[in-house]
Structure formats: structure tokens, C-alpha cells
Amino acid sequence: MQVIEREKVKTDINDLKKKYGDDRSALLPILHELQNKYNYLSDVIMQETAHSLDIHPVEVEGVVSFYSFFRTNKKQGKYVIRLCQTISCDLAGKENVARQLENELGIKFGETTEDRMFTLEYTNCMGMCDKGPAMMVNDRLFASVTPDKVSRIIADCRNNFIKTNFPDIVPSNVVKTGPILESDTDKNAGLKKALKMKRPDIISEIKESGLKGRGGAGFPTSVKWQLAAAAKSDKKYVVCNADEGEPGTFKDRYLLYQHTDKLLDGMTIAAYVLGAKKGYIYLRGEYMHLKNMLLEKIEKRKEENLLGEDILGKGIEFDLELRMGAGAYVCGEETALIESLEGNRGEARNRPPFPTDVGLQNHPTTVNNVETFIDSALICAQGADWFKDHGTDRSTGTKLFSVSGDCEDPGIYELPYGITIRDMLSEVGGEDAKAVQVGGAGGQCIPAKQFDRKISYEDVPSGGSIIVFGPDRDMLKVAKNFMEFFVEESCGQCTPCREGNPKLLEGIEMLEQGRCSSSYLDELIKLGETMQVSSKCGLGQSSPNAFLSIVENFKSEVLGRVPQKV
Amino acid sequence: MTDNKEKLDFTEDKSSRRPKSTTPSTVKKPENTDALGAMIKVTIDGKDIKVPMGTTILEAAKELGITIPTLCDHSDLCVAGVCRICVVEVEGQNNLQASCAYPITSPIKVHTHTRKVRQARRHVLDLMLSKHYGECYSCVRNGNCELQDLADQYGVDFYRFGHVEKPDKGTDESSYAIERDMDKCILCRRCVRTCVDLQEVGVYDVLGRGEETHIGTFLDKPMNDVICINCGQCINRCPTGALHAKDPSDVIWEAIDDKNKHVVIQTAPAPRSAIGECFEGVEPGTPLTFEMNTAIRYCGFDRVFDTNFSADLTILEEGTELIERLYGTLVEGKNESLPQFTSCSPGWVKYIEHFYPEMLKNVSSAKSPQQMFGAVIKTYYAQLNDIDPADIVTVALMPCTAKKFECNRPEMNDSGYKDIDYGLTTRELAQMFKEAGIELPKLKKSDFDDPFGTQTGSGVIFGATGGVMESAIRTVYELVSGKKIDDLFDHANVMPVRGFDGIKYAELPIEEVGPVPEILEGKIPNWDWLKGATLKVAVAHGTANAKKVLENIKEGGKLSECHFIEFMACPGGCLGGGGMPIPTNEEIRAARAKAIYAEDEASEVRKSYENPAITKLYSDFFTDGPCSHKSHELLHTGYKVRGKKMV
Amino acid sequence: MAKILIVDDDYDFVSGVKTVLESADHEVTAAYSREEGMKLFEQEEPDLIILDVMMDEPDDGFTMAQDLKRKHAKASVLMLSSVGQVTGLEFDKDDEMVPVDAFEEKPIMPNKLLEKVKELLNN
């Protein structure tokens, strides 16, 4: 029996290698497909995949065990229900949904039903923060789940979704548009205009616009493109970072869905500037539901001669491939993303070299965020001045914000950089907030007394995540949720992040139980500072931010607690 | 002989599959430091220095005499930059930088012990200690532990973030050679880099993520169930006691104490060059061969023999086998497997059994010197001294952990008994000496016991990469040509096969041939068929290099034309073995090699066939000569097709 | 004997190059950033510009070279940079992205620099 399975697996792998290539970079897509077919990744599958790609079985296991979407456990239900446990869904009442799921299925989280129909798991942010609590059933997405909806969803599962009242894709709520979202240029205007421009002139225009990476790190887009464009190489790559994993961010999901053409325009412009013939969209595993739509768009563009061998008759060649992530927040970090594309654990690389210099398979590469590509396309269409019209000197343009938490109108907002938190709160209906988390889990928690601070690269930077905490929120619980997130999502490479985050979480638990001395709290604050300066990558460096800003700003709220009796 | 190293290009990097997260940006250092911009000014703690572009901060500091602590950094391995203990402050940068992974490409100012740096390092250390089962008294690495040293240097006087009081993972003792105690692991990943990059065996990798991150084997199987070649290179590079060898010293003491047991030990060439490193004040490369004999007797061993004897025996057996293969192919038209591969290194043997089983027929059937000696002791020596072999306990002092596995191979008991009872490493013998209160460097010298003679140059060089080949060349050339090898190489030093190049290649033209020597009579009629031939040989050390050689042969590359190839599993050969003193690095290995070659140079006998103990063995015991029926029975073996599957 | 402007943020390197060029009787002015470099270019009207790449921004040299081309600068440009080693990528001149007259990797031997300078001045 085992011999037959082994032979079958070998044949499958050989077929998949034809599709994805025969080196290690094919590892993730091959594992995805094998898991789809066999339901889990058995030790035979891991060994055969390893031998086939000339790596060691333990290296494959290293990869499989890194990404939360890969399973090695045979005992997995037909339907895997993943409930989001991250902050916004937590604020929206995920606890009640969780309880009801357990009640309906008669199992606990982490377990599978006797009949192998259902497995219950928690997952981290799936980009549905404005419509929490959210959950996924296999690749299907459910938003605003309430305890009473749970039984209906389970019934639909038992029916194999032959008939369901739940929509396939849950759109996001755009509350406020601005020049980017309203831009009503002709279809592909940016691309058409760009292809008539000289390559240095495009870079010059982007440079002039002051566009900085919309993912949060804020690196000038023009510099990234310039170096990769100036480099000589037979292969260059344009990579779209669609691994929107920052808790509280969902604007890329919306953009991927609603503004696909502008995104692909932006990527094609970058390809033209770099001289890249190949591009990848690295889409996070949680956005599997967007996969087919994106593949169709790519196909359509090929038919329309907007992708392929001779784009718009200009002799430009650019091919695009979609690669799925597999559930790892750290892969949003640029070098970790490239590692993942190369078939490795998503572990950040050493710096230097700096991100501009890091390439896929050592070839010149630019990695940009979804929004950045869209902005680039629009800047090409409408000029740098149009873009610079908004924002501040050092943070030009408008920015898409994903707003969630305790406010009247959660959703997507396009607002200029430089806006104060106070103004933003009045836009979203959250004036009574006691604090706002700006920039996601790795961002800062801004207390009410600092609401005049500006959201910009020079003051409070943000990749777009805004989470509002109402007057009754327990800030220690908030901090705990963030720390739980980092304890799980740390890639585990460097000591400060791997070991430091559990210590901070432990400290929060001590605070909860009212048994943390203020001198130990000071020690933990110092530890947080160490983590900020000595972790290897941006994830580790930003992981203590929420803890630090919460314990510092809400010290009297978190100290001296009387433990709650259960 | 021509040295054709330059014709072979093995630098092509096939390891593009390696994660670059564990590879730093390496900036090529300038060839000419007089060029404008070649030297970059760095200021470290106020001291200026100019260093070649691409030098790391860590290297620059070292040159200035400034010590920066390291843990994950190891000079044999690619830079990981994961432990973060080596962080320093670079002016103009908010975050601290890992000095091991920071190549200097523009002028910078660095501070290595500011408050920020001290605090960060202390925290990193405290975090490691919070997860490390630091029960130092009962730890094999007590007194030689990098973590312990750091705790000392940084004045750790309390556990800021707690520490592990009870081990919860347990020690994996399933392997004959390597034990893993993951309660002591600090996740520096040196073992992973050693196993995957340096050796390309791939026992370990990092598994899991976040808090769950750990170093594991495939499916966390016990060491005995995974594809491990027992080379022990991971042990040599582990900064703590998380990895160590299976120590037989307790049972050896018991045997010594047992009056009915006749306990003999053979000592391999490499340990004598390094055992001094286990004692204070002894520099690497200080040979203590004869002091060690005294110490061994002081411990209570009944006899101490020199493995050089069986190294020479190996040359005769393996050399004859080679000649037979060549004769078969060139004269008799048989399809003998060439090149012939050496079989002395048990790590290498297990490597090929797993990864290239289809090429096992190329491996010489000769047992390793360790095993040959065992078989001879329990037959010839037992008869000679009228001792029941059942009462003989054979111990092998080896630089090697794989020898522990080798002596437990079921096929290794041709004498009717286990040829070798225990493999003992250099480190373990040093420990026995310490337990017996022996200050090794201060002891008087004494010689090896008869009847196996004393040190020979041809035997001792087995301890360094290329040594087996050099000995083989010395003997085979002289037996075939009837001339002295010294005519070709000064002092018979076959330089082209020496040194630490990963793969060495050499050609030896045989212009004239002599008469067939007595020892080979009856095997071949004459040497005429070798006249004008060119013997092609290669040497590889470290199994990553072995892999390159085997791939080259498979592709029909230049090395497929070789006649004889020496393989050693460990970098540097046996002197870099997994049972040798810790630490190891290229400098230390070079010092050991120097000691070994000096012993060779000082030896009276430097060619295996001239070793009188060998001549006597063939005239008294293996009377039909090498590769005869009897020698095949006792001195040769077979191999097992193991493959890569793990069940 | 020519007017040479060197634009590079490495003071040591600039002073080294200066010494070498002055020994060959050239008149050398130095700028330590792209902005300063453009300013001195307008002021001094040099015959030759020796241009680094990575300064305040990692792509400053490329940007300046492109700007010079847009201005139809008469001066020859020698790009002298270690950008290749630092980034691990390969760079060379081209008409579009790296519009310079010669591209040389740092470090450079003094005689080779003089040779290159001579060659560019003669063109």
C-alpha cells in the first residue's frame, strides 16, 4: 500500500515540477497542490518532495512546520474552520462565536470531530477587520459572524455548499474616497503613458512625487526601482507584496479585488522600468478566495495584450505568476517574502545588504506593496504634482487606511498624510476613543492626550492600520492580544524576538493576576527596548511597540489588578 | 607528478537552494590594498583602523584587540546573525547591528560597549539562560562551554528572566555515536549549518515557528532512525552541551578494573596531535604521542598499540586491491569498478551507503585501520600470547565519533568476536586522564608495545586529509617502479595531495617499471602493463566535497578518469574529526596537521611496505599475502545499501 | 591639465583621489553630495566629473548622471563606485539608466585612474 502511494506521489511531484520548476523555489506551490490533493502532507510526501528537489526531508519539514496553513496531521476534518483571533475580531466578539462553534460541534479548538467533518482552529488576522468576527471554512470567507449564524454555516458545510446564502467574497466598506480611489482616468492610462516615456523619466517622476512604500516601512519607491533598473542582469523581477498580514489592515484585499487593473498597470510599468520579464504576486494564504479572480484578470490582460510578449505593441515582455503564501505574518517583511518565494522558511535576511539590494535568486528585484504599485500607475497617468498636492513635505499623497475597532463607521478611508488622529477619529466616528493603535500590531498605541499627533512617516507612521479602542476597553487585554500574536508569528530566528515576546506575554499575565512588581515591569520595559534595537528584522524590532506604549501610557490601569475569579 | 588543481573548477555554487537568511552579504575583499578606496577607515571605540572593504565589524574589532562576544558565529560556517550577542552600535543607525554580519563598505564609527549595547547583550544572554537547562556540574561541557564563559564574562549573578530547573525534553541516546540534549540548545543553528552546508547530510533543520521553534530531525525521529553519518561535526561546533558523543569511559574503567580482562588500546594518528589542547597551557599542534602512552599505562590499560600499524596494513591491502582492479581492467578486460574509493572513514562509508549506494562497488573492501587492528588483535595477537580472545577488550582511541558506530556494525566480528569493543574519542581519553589525576604534558615518554611496532610516518599521516593517498603513493610507486619516491618529491613529501583545498587532484606518471616485489608474487606476472601509464588520483575531505566528486564522476567529468580517490568525512581529515578537542577551526586544524607532518618527517619508517611489523605479519600470519583468502576473511568487509528513505 | 569635479561622500577616498589627480597637474574640486555636486557642476563647468553612486540616497549617482544628461552636460562622466560589490549586483554604463562615459569599480589603482581620466579627457 505504502509503495503504491509513494509511486503515486512521485508521479504527482514530477507533473508539478513541470508546472512550477525543478528547483527549491517550486517547493511552496508544490506543497500547496499536494496538500489539496492528499488533504495533508504525510512523511512520504515530504520525503519524496525533498528527494525530487534535491533537498533534505528535514528541510521540507522545516518549511512545512513554518507556515500555519500546511498540515502534517492526518486527522483533519473535511472542513477546517479557522476563526480569526486577532485584535479587531477579538474586539468584535470572537469569544462568543468561538464558544458557539464549540457548542455546535462538540469539540474544542485544535480538535477534529469524530466523523472527520470539522476541525476547529484559530488563525491570525485574515484582513476582515472591519467586518469581524471573521472566519474561513477552507478557502471560503465569512464576515460579521454572530453566534446565531454559526449553526447555519455548519449546516451549509454539511450540504457541501450546494445552496448557501453567504456570499463568496465579502467586499469591504469604502467610507471615504479621495484622489486615488476617485481617479477616473481611462483604463490603463498610466501604463499607456508610461510606455511612451523614457525609463529614467518615469523614475524621475516617481522621485518627484515623493512616493514612499505604502506597506509602512516608507522606503522611497524611486530608489528601489532605480537600482534594480540600473543593474545589469539577464533576469530581473517585479514582486508585488500582497501579503497583507498586519492586524487591522484590509485595504489591499479591497484594492486587489476592485482595482486589479491599476495594480497590474503599476507592476507592468515597474517591469518596463527595470527591464524585468517576470513578476510575481505573492498573495497571502488567507486571500485564497481572490486567487481565481486574479488568475482570470491576468489571463484577460494577456488576451488584451497588456501582459505577455509584446505589450501594447511596444516590444515589452512581461509575464506574471501568482504565488500563494501559506500563513506567516513575517512574510510581509520584504526579505522574508523573497525567502518564501525561493522555497524557504520565511526568515528575514541580514542587513546589510539593505532591501534595495536584495534580489530574488540574487537577481535585481523590486518588491512593492499593492497600494504602491497603484499609486505609481496613477502618478504616471496624472503626474507628480497631482500626487504631491496632498500630504506633507516628507509624506506626500493620500493614503488608504483600514479602520476597525470601536467606531461608528469601520471601513476603508482615503485620507491625506499628515492628518491628526483627532481629525481621523471624527471622520470615523470614534471621538470618545481612549486610545488608537496606529500601524497594526507592530505600531504604536496612541493615548487620547496625544491625539494631535499626525499620521505620517515623520511622526506616527502607519501602513494603514487604524484600530480604535473605546472608553471601556481593557488596555491590558489589548496588549495581551498583540503579544499572543507575536509569540506565534515570530519567525523564531533571533533570540530577542523569539524569547523576548514570550517574556513580555508572561509579564502581561502577571499583570493580569496582579502579581507584577513595578521593578519587574521596568525590567520588561528595558527588555522591550532591547528587542527594538537588537532584533534581526522589522517584525522583532516592532513587536514590543504595543506593549511598551500601553504599559507606559496606561500604567495605572495595568498595575495593581485584583485577579478576576472565574 | 603534476599538480592539476587549477584545471578543476569546483567553485560553481550549486547550493543556491540554501536560505539566504543564513548567509550574509559578502563583499569581496579587494585584491590590491594599494588601490584607491580599497581600505576603509573605521573607528571602533575611538580607535581608528583602516581595513579592506568588506571586512566585518567583528573582524575589524579583532584586529584592534577589541573582543566582541559571539555565539552563532563560527569561522567554518556561513554567518547566521541570529543570536544577536555580537551587536554593536553604529553611529547614525537607530538599531544595533550584528557585527558578525556587517561588512564595512563605507567609513563608519562603531561603539562596542555603550549602555545600549551592554543592556542588549545582557538581555540576550538572560533570555538564552531562561531557556537553557544550565546544570553545569553534570554537563559534559563544564569548563568548556561558550554560554558558561559568557555568563562568567557578563557577571551573571541572577536569572533575570528565570531559568529551566527541570529538563523536559530528555536526551536522545538512541545513536551509537551522537547524543542530543535539547534542553541545552540555545538555537544558534551551528549544527544545522554544519550538517546542511558543511557536510550536506541534512540531519537537522529548524522546525516550527515562534515559541515552538526548535532544532529537530525529520519528524523529530531519534538519531538512530534518521540519515546521520555519525561524523560528529555538529558536536565540535555546538557552543553548549546540547550535542555530545556517547561516552564509553565508564565501561572501559570497569574492564580495566576487571582482573580477568586483557584491555588493549590502539591509538590513532590524529588524537596525539591534539589531546594536549584538553590541558591547560598546551598550544594546538603540540604532539604528545609518547607521553600519552605513559598516561594510558598509568590508567591501567594492559597494552598500548599504534594504529599506524594497521594504517600501513591498510595500504598493503587497499593498494593490492587497487592493483588487482587496474590489472583486471587494463589487462584481463574485466569491468572492474574504478576509481577505487578509500574506506577508512566510517562517516564517509555511511554517507555513500545512504546517498550514492549505486557507487558502493567502487569502495575498497578493505576494513578501516581501526577494524583491521581489532581483527588482528583477537586472532594473531591472541594466539601469539595465548590469551582467550573472549577475555580481550579492544579499545580504539579515535578522533572520531563515527568509529563508535563502525565498531558496532554487525559485520565487524570476523574474528568471532567484536573486532573492536569500544571507540573512545580524544576528548573522552583526556577526561579519563584527568579523572586519574594525570597531568599529561608533564609525563615522561614511553614507546608503544610490541608486536605491532612503533610509529611510522606512512601511518601517522592518515590523520590529515591526503595522508592515505600520500602513503599509498609512496608504497605503490616504489613497488611498481622499483625506484624511490624521494626522487620525485623531496623527502618523499607528496605535496600535491596535502593542504586543505576541498578537492585535490594529482597525476603520477609511471615512466619505468621494476620487478614484481616478493609480497605481490603470484598476483601479477609483471608490471609491463603499467609502463608509461599515468596514475590519476584525487582527495576530498568533508562530505560536501565528497558529493561534488561523486557528482563529477556521475557526469563523466574529469574525476571519473581517476584511479584512486581518498575520501574523509571530516573537514581536514581525521584531525578535524568529531571526537577531537573543542573548539575547532581552520587555524587549529592547520596546527594539528603541522604536528602530524612533523612526526612523519621524524619517523624512521615512512613507507608502509617497509614497516617491519607488517612484513612479519605477512610472513607469520597472512602467509598468502595481501588480498589473500585469509586476509579477505579478516581484513575485508562488505557494505550495505541504505538509501535515503526513512521509515 | 583639466578641471575635474569629484562627487563622493567618502572623505578619505576623495582626498586620495585628489592627491593622485593633482600630482598629474589637474585642478580638482570636490562635492560630498548630489546637491552640492550639481551646484559645483554649474559653477565650475568641469571637464570631467568623477561620480560615486551611493551617497545620501543609494541611487544618487544614477540620478545625477541622468540629470546631467538631461542638461546635455559637456563634461565627461566617470562613474567610480563600489555599488556592485555592496549590492552584489552587476552594474555598467548604458545609454538610458547609467548615461556615463565610463563605469569603474572601486577600488581602483591610481595609475588606472589616471589612465582612465586621460582617456576620457582626450575624447
Q: Which of A201, A219, A232 should one mutate to test binding to chain C, selecting the residue with the greatest count of C CBs within 10 A?
A: A232
B43: chain C residues, CB-CB within 8 Å: none
At B384-426, the pLDDT tens digits run 999 999 999 999 999 999 999 999 999 999 999 999 999 999 9
Compute the CA torsion angle B67, B73, B78, B82 (nearest 10 deg): -120
pLDDT classification of B24: cutoffs 50, 70, 90: low
pLDDT classification of B10: cutoffs 50, 70, 90: low
Point out which residues pair with B265 in neighbouring strands.
Answer: B304, B395
- Is pLDDT of A172 > 90? no
CA atoms within 13 A on the CB side of B623: 2
Which residues of chain B are in CATH 3.30.70.20 domains? 124-245
At A351-407, the pLDDT tens digits run 777 666 668 988 999 999 999 999 999 999 999 999 999 999 999 999 999 999 999
Q: Which of C55, C77, C87 should one mutate to test binding to chain A, selecting the residue with the greatest count of A CBs within 10 A?
A: C87
The domain spanning residue A402 has which CATH number? 3.10.20.600
The domain spanning residue C91 has which CATH number? 3.40.50.2300
How much is the mean pLDDT over chain B? 94
Q: A: neighbours with 3+ CB pairs under 8 Å?
A: B, C
- How close does chain C come to B35, measured CA to CA in Å? 4
Give the Cα separation of A529 and A541 in Å (integer): 9
| Per-residue pLDDT at A359 | 84
Across residues A193-200, what is the average pLDDT? 96
Q: Tell me, which fold does domain B124-245 have in CATH?
A: Alpha-Beta Plaits (3.30.70)
Instruction: For residues A58 and A87, state if they share a domain.
Output: no
**Contact flag B218-A345 (C-beta cutoff 8 Å):** no
CA atoms within 13 A on the CB side of B391: 13
- For residues C41 and B454, the model is more confident at C41
Residue A69, domain member (yes or no): no
Give the Cα separation of B242 and B258 in Å (integer): 33
Query: Which CATH number is B2-113 given?
Result: 3.10.20.740
Give the Cα separation of A40 and A65 in Å (integer): 12
Question: Which sequence positions of B are flagged as catalytic?
Answer: 318, 321, 344, 364, 403, 406, 411, 574
Instruction: For residues A228 and A195, state if they share a domain.
Output: yes
**Would you say B23 and B197 are in contact if contact means Cβ atoms under 8 Å apart?**
no
Strands B97-98 and B534-541 turn out to be unpaired
Residue in chain B nearest C105 by alpha carbon: B37
**Contact flag C66-A204 (C-beta cutoff 8 Å):** yes
A488: chain B residues, CB-CB within 8 Å: 209-211
Q: Please give the tally of structural domains in chain C.
A: 1
Give the Cα separation of A356 and A462 in Å (integer): 21
- For residues A303 and A216, the model is more confident at A303
DSSP string, A363-417: S-EEEEEHHHHHHHHHHHHH-HHHHHTSB-SSSBSEEEEEEEESSSS-EEEEEET
Q: Please state which of the ranges A170-174, A455-459, B457-461, C105-109 shows the lowest mean pLDDT.
A: A170-174
At A86-100, the pLDDT tens digits run 999 999 999 999 999
| Per-residue pLDDT at B6 | 43
Q: What percent of chain B has pLDDT over 90?
A: 92
**Would you say B252 and B263 are in contact if contact means Cβ atoms under 8 Å apart?**
yes
Q: Which of A254, A261, A356, A255 is nearest to A306 (CA)?
A: A261
- How close does chain B come to A232, measured CA to CA in Å? 18
Q: List all residues 6 or more positions away from B630 whose beta carbon is below 8 Å from its beta carbon.
A: B621, B622, B623, B624
- Is pLDDT of C76 > 90? yes
- Is pLDDT of A58 > 50? yes
Of the three residues A434, A469, A504, the one that is the final residue of a domain is A469
Give the Cα separation of A178 and A251 in Å (integer): 14
| Per-residue pLDDT at B4 | 46
Residue in chain A nearest B78 by alpha carbon: A350
Residue A22, domain member (yes or no): yes
Across residues A344-355, what is the average pLDDT? 84
List Cα–Cα distances, A256 to A7, A297, A416, A430, in angstroms: 39, 11, 21, 28
Residue A563, domain member (yes or no): no
Which residues of chain B are in CATH 3.10.20.740 domains? 2-113
* Domain boundaries, position A295: 174-388
Q: List all residues 6 or more positions away from A350 whose beta carbon is below 8 Å from its beta carbon.
A: A536, B21, B23, B24, B25, B79, B81, B98, B101
| Per-residue pLDDT at B277 | 97
**Would you say A170 and A128 are in contact if contact means Cβ atoms under 8 Å apart?**
yes
**Would you say B496 and B487 are in contact if contact means Cβ atoms under 8 Å apart?**
no
At A6-29, the pLDDT tens digits run 999 999 999 999 999 998 999 999
Residue A487, domain member (yes or no): yes
**Contact flag B196-A56 (C-beta cutoff 8 Å):** yes
Instruction: For residues A342 and A199, state if they share a domain.
Output: yes
Point out which residues pair with B262 in neighbouring strands.
Answer: B392
Residue with cell 554593536: B88
CA atoms within 13 A on the CB side of B167: 17
- How close does chain A come to C70, measured CA to CA in Å? 10
pLDDT classification of B97: cutoffs 50, 70, 90: very high
Residue A522, domain member (yes or no): yes
Strands B214-216 and B205-207 turn out to be antiparallel
> Helix-strand-coil percent breakdown of chain C, rounded to 5?
45, 20, 35
* Domain boundaries, position C110: 3-122
- Is pLDDT of B11 > 80? no
Instruction: For residues A307 and A224, state if they share a domain.
Output: yes
B219: chain A residues, CB-CB within 8 Å: 43, 61
Of the three residues A388, A413, A445, the one that is the final residue of a domain is A388
**Contact flag B25-A53 (C-beta cutoff 8 Å):** no
pLDDT classification of B15: cutoffs 50, 70, 90: very low
Instruction: For residues A434 and A294, state if they share a domain.
Output: no
Instruction: For residues A127 and A237, state if they share a domain.
Output: no
pLDDT classification of B7: cutoffs 50, 70, 90: very low
Other Cβ atoms closer than 10 A to A97: 24
Residue A509, domain member (yes or no): yes
A135: helix, strand or coil: strand
Q: List all residues 6 or more positions away from B254 whose beta carbon is below 8 Å from its beta carbon.
A: none
Give the three cell numbers for residue B122: 545582557
List Cα–Cα distances, A179 to A114, B418, C43, in angstroms: 54, 84, 41
Q: Please give the tally of structural domains in chain A.
A: 5
pLDDT classification of A217: cutoffs 50, 70, 90: confident
Across residues B179-203, what is the average pLDDT? 96
**Contact flag A230-C97 (C-beta cutoff 8 Å):** yes
Q: What percent of chain B has pLDDT over 70?
A: 96
Q: Residue B79 has what DSSP assignment? A: -
Q: C: neighbours with 3+ CB pairs under 8 Å?
A: A, B
Residue A165, domain member (yes or no): no
**Contact flag B36-C108 (C-beta cutoff 8 Å):** yes
Instruction: For residues A92 and A215, state if they share a domain.
Output: no
List Cα–Cα distances, B89 to B70, B101, B102, C11, in angstroms: 15, 13, 11, 22
Of the three residues A388, A420, A442, the one that is the final residue of a domain is A388
- Is pLDDT of A418 > 80? yes
Measured in whole angstroms, the distance separating CA C8 from the mean position of its chain's CA atoms is 8
CA atoms within 13 A on the CB side of B32: 10
- Is pLDDT of C89 > 70? yes
Q: What is the largest CA-CA distance in chain C?
A: 36
| Per-residue pLDDT at B21 | 62
Q: Which residues 80-139 of chain B have a CB within 8 Å of chain C? A: 105-107
The sign one gets for the Cα dihedral A123, A129, A135, A139 is negative
A357: chain C residues, CB-CB within 8 Å: 58, 86-89
Instruction: For residues A420 and A376, state if they share a domain.
Output: no
| Per-residue pLDDT at B16 | 45
Q: Which of A47, A24, A69 is nearest to A338 (CA)?
A: A24
